[in-house]
Amino acid sequence: MRKIDPEDFRVKPDKKVDLDKWPTMVKPAYHSREEYEALLAEHTSRLIAQQTLLYASGSYALLVIFQGMDAAGKDSAIKHVMSGVNPQGCEVVSFKQPSSDDLQHDFLWRAVRKLPERGRIGIFNRSYYEEVLVVRVHPELLHSERLPKELIDAKTIWRDRYRSMVNLEDHLYRNGTRTIKFFLHLSKEEQRNRLLKRIDSPEKNWKLSLADIQERKYWKQYMRAYGACLSDTSTRTAPWYVVPADDKQNAQLIVSRIIVDELKELKLEYPKPSPKRLRELQQIRKLLTKS
């Protein structure tokens, strides 16, 4: 069994990322399906325990962001890693194309409205980072955002958006929200195989559209946009992790390990009752024994 070291996948602050040099496959942390299931169950059990502490303490929140190309495994990672977590303490938000209402506001607005409350885990399936990914690959989308013309400057707009995102995450950190960001790094060949499986599996047909295939033409542009984004927005307090995603099971083990480690770093404890609360509990005990 290969030990998972989160530092192997973390993008260091100010490190220039060339995704051609980052692997989409690494030696797995398991040798068999049974070992994978046992490891995932262990990680999930630890995550459930940490999430219970997070919910009970009510001081911190955790924001987990998933980004990646179509078929990178975002949905399955969320499904498997978060299985068993109390739904009361966790919310998944999937960001599609912005609505007309979204476009009336700044690009961070719709995401800020969905940030997790203290004591909860919020999961963004795609996020505000689409604004420097798909919008950068297709800059014509900027015109639908109704920005003043003088603000649409190709030399500055992406840099300014990176700064807005980093500033938001710094602000969240200072107010008790920890942010972890995962880029599921998939090879173009593996994406092709997975998209073909969506055709062959009737229960997955709904996941595939011609638009998905059209976007494959822009693969190199997307890799450059992701590389620039990861380079400029991975910070000490809100890091990016580039997770090799050609092996879905191994990617899930890496993601779950990183989330558990992040929660453990908070050193959460159950709230300690005050003397007044202890007296109240004793009074409740007396009433219960008499009833």
For the segment 236-260, the average pLDDT, to the nearest whole number, is 98
- Tell me which DSSP letter residue 147 carries: -
Given a contact cutoff of 8 angstroms between Cβ atoms, the answer to whether 233 and 226 are in contact is: no
Given a contact cutoff of 8 angstroms between Cβ atoms, the answer to whether 177 and 63 are in contact is: yes
For the segment 130-136, the average pLDDT, to the nearest whole number, is 97
- Domain with residue 123: its CATH number is 3.40.50.300
- Give the model's pLDDT for residue 209: 84
Q: Is residue 214 included in any domain, yes or no?
A: yes
Q: With 90 as the cut, is the pLDDT of residue 122 above it?
A: yes
- Give the model's pLDDT for residue 206: 84
SS3 (DSSP) at 180: strand
Q: What percent of the chain has pLDDT over 70?
A: 100
Run of H or E residues at 64: strand 61-68
Q: Is residue 60 included in any domain, yes or no?
A: yes
Look at the block and give the residue holding tokens 């942390």: 29
Q: Is residue 203 included in any domain, yes or no?
A: yes
Q: Is residue 96 included in any domain, yes or no?
A: yes
For the segment 92-111, the average pLDDT, to the nearest whole number, is 95
Q: Is residue 34 included in any domain, yes or no?
A: yes
For the segment 244-266, the average pLDDT, to the nearest whole number, is 97
Given a contact cutoff of 8 angstroms between Cβ atoms, the answer to whether 262 and 47 are in contact is: no
Cβ atoms within 10 Å of 84's Cβ, excluding its own: 11
- Give the model's pLDDT for residue 154: 82
> 35: domain range?
6-290
Cα 86 to chain centroid, rounded: 18
Q: With 90 as the cut, is the pLDDT of residue 241 above it?
A: yes
Q: Is residue 103 included in any domain, yes or no?
A: yes
Q: What is the pLDDT of the chain when averaged over all its residues? A: 94
Q: With 90 as the cut, is the pLDDT of residue 61 above it?
A: yes
- Give the model's pLDDT for residue 87: 87
- Give the model's pLDDT for residue 153: 87
Given a contact cutoff of 8 angstroms between Cβ atoms, the answer to whether 146 and 104 are in contact is: yes
Instruction: Choose between 206 and 117: higher pLDDT.
Output: 117
- Vertex 25, ends 23 and 28: CA angle to 5°? 130
Number of domains making up the chain? 1
d(CA 171, CA 178): 10
- Give the model's pLDDT for residue 170: 98
Q: With 70 as the cut, is the pLDDT of residue 1 above it?
A: no
- Tell me which DSSP letter residue 255 carries: H
Q: Is residue 14 included in any domain, yes or no?
A: yes
Q: Is residue 1 included in any domain, yes or no?
A: no
